[in-house]
Amino acid sequence: MRFGLTAAALFLGLAGAGVAGECVGQNLFETMPPQQRARIEEAVREVPYHEGLFWRARRGDEIITIVGTYHFADPRHQANLKRIEAPLAAADVLLVEAGPEEEARLTQALTEDPTLMVDPTGPTLPERLRPEEWQALSDAMALRGTPAVVAAKLRPWYVAMMLGISPCMMQGRANDGAAGLDHLLVARAQDMGVPVQPLEPWDTVFSLFEDMTPAQEIDMIRASLPTAAYADDYAVTLTDAYFEGDVWKIWEFGRFDAYENSGLSRAEVDDLMELARTQLMDRRNQRWIAPLTRAAHEAARRGKGVMAGFGALHLPGEMGVLRLLEKQGWTIEKLEG
């Protein structure tokens, strides 16, 4: 899973799940030059709430237990799930990016209207990319089970997302359907009789990229393409970072990797990163505050709190969920260690 320019293969959970624990690769943080690692750590240092997966927000008698999730499967999720079972069982409601009903509606829409992912009328990707870029892209998509004749007409946002998913993750999903932490939380809540509510509509994914220019769409592919060749290493690197709680380091890793390998200028990379952060995180974070606080207020009237689980990259930063809650008078407490 790519957590950088493809916004974490919709980190965001819109890409399904894979078995990261079965991917064979190396942790790139362990092999990168010390100077590059130092630059990444420096970029992360001053970001609010940049480290940690488990938090509690409290305002008076209103309580939100917040879990930063990872949408791909990994056996290490079981320990985290066990850790949060008690507050989940006591919660008035579990809020997630998309619940079972929203996922079912999304699946139905994609089945009934292939043009949501396929552009039947516009120029094809081979026409929009340089020959060597298209060859590299078609090879990468073939490894992910998509032949060139199909990949040629896919919408760029979907292609960029697919490039962020390693073939081993996709194979793991096909073999056993293993779930990420979001789905595990939902399943456990249902077992406990805890209601599940979505934070956003089922069709949110289709609005995330609608105002991108054609050039930005293709640059998103170009920024993602170089890493497709070592996607298993990416999967191991970013999964390990997640379980270590180094949330924002994941984002900056994608930025510095794009500086080195995308063929885009630093300014172009920065523009794409800003666009991705704004479209895929900041705007959504702002929209989530109202349903989070409303649910917590209603739960407090019944003497209960709520739990929220969503992609961990939504936690840090000045426009992250934790800072936005803090600005509204909530006290934020880290629950780890």
Question: Within 10 A of 253 (CB to CB), how many other CB atoms are there?
Answer: 25
Query: What single-letter amino acid sits at 156?
Result: P
Q: Which residues pair with 56 in a beta bridge?
A: 65, 333
- pLDDT tens, per residue, the chain with 337 residues: 233 333 334 333 333 333 344 567 889 899 889 999 999 999 999 999 999 999 999 999 999 999 999 988 889 999 999 999 999 999 999 999 999 999 999 889 989 998 999 999 889 999 999 999 999 999 999 988 899 999 999 999 889 888 878 787 766 554 445 678 999 999 999 999 999 999 999 998 888 888 888 998 898 898 888 777 778 888 888 889 999 999 899 889 888 888 888 888 999 989 988 988 988 899 999 999 999 999 999 999 999 999 999 999 999 999 999 999 999 999 999 997 5
Predicted TM-score (pTM) of this structure: 0.88
Whose CA is closest to 223, among 260, 250, 168? Answer: 260
Residues 6+ apart with CB under 8 A from 246: 44, 50, 51
* Extended beta strands in the chain, E state: 54-59, 62-69, 94-96, 196-198, 306-311, 331-334
User: How are strands ordered across the β-sheet holding 196-198?
Assistant: 196-198, 94-96, 306-311, 62-69, 54-59, 331-334
Q: Pairing state of beta strands 94-96 and 62-69?
A: unpaired
